[in-house]
Structure 1
Amino acid sequence: MPAIPRYCAQESRTFLATFLSAGFRPFFLAAALWAAVALPLSIAYFEMAAELPTRFSPSIWHPHEMAFGFGGAVVAGFLLTAIPNWTGRMPLQGAPLAGLVALWLLGRVAIFFSASVPAPIAAALDLAFPAVFLLVVAREIVTGRNWRNLPMAAALALLFVGNMLTHLDAMNIAATGVFGARMGVATLAMLVALIGGRITPSFTRNWLAKTLPGAVEPAPFGGLDRFALAATLLALIAWVAFPDARATAILEIIAGAALFARLMRWRGANTGAEPLLFVLHLGYGWLALGLLFMGANEFLGVTDSTAPLHALTAGAIGTMTLAVMTRATRGHTGRALVADRGTAAIYVLVTLAAALRVSAPFTGEYYFASLAVAAGLWSLAYGLFALLYFKMLTGPRARSDA
């Protein structure tokens, strides 16, 4: 009989050792589960006047938890997995990784129940994760002398500041909640432009060389790419500071057009046979479309500002997030870089969710129904990821690659 508890204890230790062996494992799973839960809560809180035990207003809680909660976990999972490849240093794992995950979870609990605790305490508990994570990433980049990726530390600093600004609003110190939320969204969008712009043509080039020898390869990084990234950065800064200015709209249109031109040079039309790759192009396309729509809507006024904004968030950030999470999970657990039917279904669901959310203002009396269905599709996409990828995220690498 004593052998049974010892066996269970050994199994638990093996499970935890595997689960905490790389940052993408706990953080991708946590991000997917929170995305699946938080969005329906947001719809209920914002549209149905449901009560949540948070001191954040509905208009702030939703972007806060999407940008700094869900987005923070995705960024952590990606960077903690990518940085060891960039620096050649050992990844954060074991107890230190568990501590970082615990800080993220503590932040979610603190925000959700913030109406029941003093605002400064809720703020301190929530800001602990981005502060510690920033220090971890900065240490790895500096120690590894990986100066090329210092912008990643700058992005984390902006996420910390944006998060802090929302707390200043919640504490009635300054009316900076909306500004802070925009800063969070803009930072994530810029990361899509930078990281998506790095991996999409690279993976496409490798795939074309293997499956379609002789096909025209994606254009190398050049002047158009630099211009597109600079224009995107300038447009996002202008949007954060002056969201309704005509000059901002012009910058958004220029940036969106430049990103679209950049995307067209990556030969995405040749990748339709592999959804795991094509979805990267789709996510980047949402980024270009979102900026174009935001700028054009300022001049044409065809809808309220939430529709083009969600092309950027639900479309670009939501799609690129799932594209990276599925690909990184499969690659780092020894699975084939091929989308199975379940993975393809995830991409279809998140695309339908984004398209329906963007078009919701045009549905008239069916507006709320459109929002509800879009939220349901989004939750289903991320819930399906958590379900289908659970064994990959918590189990050992595939034996064929051992």
Structure 2
Amino acid sequence: MTKAAAKRDRIAEAPIWLQGSFRLLFTGGALWALVVVAFWVGALGGAWSVPTAMEPLVWHQHEMLFGYLGAVIAGFLSAAIPNWTGRPVMTGWPVAAFVGLWAAARLAVLFSAYVPPLVGSVLDVGFLLALFGYAARQIFAARNRNKPILIVLLLFAAACELDHAAAMGLTTDPAIGMRAGFALVLMLIAIIGGRIIPAFTRNWLNKHGGTDGLPIMANRFDHAVLAVTAIALAGWVFAPAAHPVPWLLLVAGASHAVRQTRWAGLSAIGDPLVFVLHLAYAWLPAGLLLLGAAILWPVVPVSSAMHALGAGAMAGMTLAVMTRATRGHTGRPLEADGGTVAIYVLVNLGALLRVAAPLLPLDYMLSIRLAGGLWGGAFLLFIFVYGRMALQRPARDQA
């Protein structure tokens, strides 16, 4: 028996939930997002306190950014890297150890009022460095071209550590780690979204006989948009009070809005798996425009801008990618059923209500609870539909 055949046999023999860490990380990440939002809404309304050494708002931001998104990024890479490199999927006890490290970090940070905060910091950053080590080994062994993702992973780990240091009072700017992590994720959405959205849209239109008005693929205009966005976000991270920063954010937001008009989004409304990518991406220009406006004119709340980018762009894009990736990597058809469409509707309605909450003629906490319920409902439905899909073999494999 060849070594490759032996590896295939070991993969086939492992429990389904240990065949690729994306299965547990997507499901666990969605569950954690639901827990974090529930804890935060309850703490905000005074119903309970959160047993963390961090300020409740800081904990909420940290866990959504480095906890939830850290799991999704790791799950996505664990599924994508074998496709990029042709190397075997991570299987068996390494998956259990990797996911266990992520879960231990979440619990240590949550209970850091009782567990030394340094423990949570070491586990949290250790998970991201373990992800970096796995990705680097696979990418360099295959001499794959996706080496820039390694730089992003290192910077994301550094931002996570900076956020922990800020929470422990070791930095002069308490929000610099959060802003840095936020900016890195937004740049990933801008870069990866700019690759996959027009490509998937073009493929779908070609498949259905569309020949006119096809999406424009990346060119110099896209590169310019990314450059402006990087400069604007770097200014926001390191000098948020500087006079040019809000204007750069406005220019970046407007540029992304123009960029998206070139992708023929409305033409793909017949395929929810494709159209939701356009919908999620639309939160990026909206959020950048709101953030620039919030800095210039206090009528627009900063919280609305941050939730347009977080609850809208980040959550919408990750759910879009997780649903598509789970279907693709578990052998299901790339078709959106009713549950999938409901996930997309709920997350976008929840984000919209949360963004508008400070401006609505309703009780603020009522609006927050409604927004959290809708948004959390999307993740609960994802766990029910896609968690089972990821952790069970397809019916044809069970026969």
Tell me the TM-score range normalised by the shorter chain: over 0.9
Q: Give the alignment's Cα RMSD to 1 decimal.
A: 1.9
The AA in structure 2 aligned to 1:345 is A
- Structure 1 residue 265, shift from structure 2 partner: 0.8
Q: Which residue of 2 aligns with 1:278?
A: 275
CA distance in 2, matches of 1:122, 1:292: 35
Q: Which residue of 2 aligns with 1:313?
A: 310
Gapped runs of 5+ residues in structure 1?
Answer: 1-12
* Contact 2:159/2:180 (<8 A) preserved: yes
Structure 1 residue aligned with 2:122, among 107, 121, 124? 124
Structure 1 residue aligned with 2:227, among 209, 217, 230? 230
CA 1:245–1:398 in 2, change beyond 3 Å: closer, same or farther?
Answer: farther
CA distance in 1, matches of 2:201, 2:135: 28
Q: Which residue of 2 aligns with 1:65?
A: 63
CA distance in 1, matches of 2:25, 2:358: 33
Matches within 5 A, 1:41-52: 41-48=39-46, 50-52=48-50
Q: Which residue of 1 aligns with 2:329?
A: 332
Matches within 5 A, 1:74-93: 74-93=72-91
CA 1:15–1:47 in 2, change beyond 3 Å: closer, same or farther?
Answer: farther
Structure 1 residue aligned with 2:260, among 256, 260, 263? 263
The AA in structure 2 aligned to 1:143 is A
The AA in structure 2 aligned to 1:335 is R
Q: Percent of pairs identical after alignment? A: 45
* Contact 1:165/1:176 (<8 A) preserved: no
CA 1:15–1:177 in 2, change beyond 3 Å: closer, same or farther?
Answer: farther
Q: Compute the TM-score of the two structures, normalised by the length of structure 1.
A: 0.92
The AA in structure 1 aligned to 2:57 is S
- Structure 1 residue 47, shift from structure 2 partner: 4.2
Matches within 5 A, 1:30-41: 30-41=28-39
Q: Secondary structure at the match of 1:115?
A: coil
Aligned residues: 388
- Structure 1 residue 343, shift from structure 2 partner: 0.5
Structure 1 residue aligned with 2:347, among 322, 347, 350? 350
Q: Which residue of 2 aligns with 1:211?
A: 208
- Structure 1 residue 125, shift from structure 2 partner: 2.3
Q: Which residue of 1 aligns with 2:95?
A: 97
The AA in structure 1 aligned to 2:183 is A
CA 1:154–1:45 in 2, change beyond 3 Å: closer, same or farther?
Answer: farther
CA distance in 1, matches of 2:210, 2:309: 34
Q: Which residue of 2 aligns with 1:153?
A: 150
CA distance in 1, matches of 2:310, 2:198: 22
* Structure 2 residue 114 is the aligned partner of structure 1 residue 107: no
Q: Compute the TM-score of the two structures, normalised by the length of structure 2.
A: 0.93
- Structure 1 residue 32, shift from structure 2 partner: 0.8
Q: Which residue of 1 aligns with 2:22?
A: 24
* Contact 1:334/1:398 (<8 A) preserved: no
* Contact 2:102/2:123 (<8 A) preserved: no
* Contact 1:257/1:288 (<8 A) preserved: yes
CA 1:316–1:15 in 2, change beyond 3 Å: closer, same or farther?
Answer: farther
CA distance in 1, matches of 2:104, 2:173: 23
The AA in structure 1 aligned to 2:94 is P
CA distance in 1, matches of 2:191, 2:268: 21
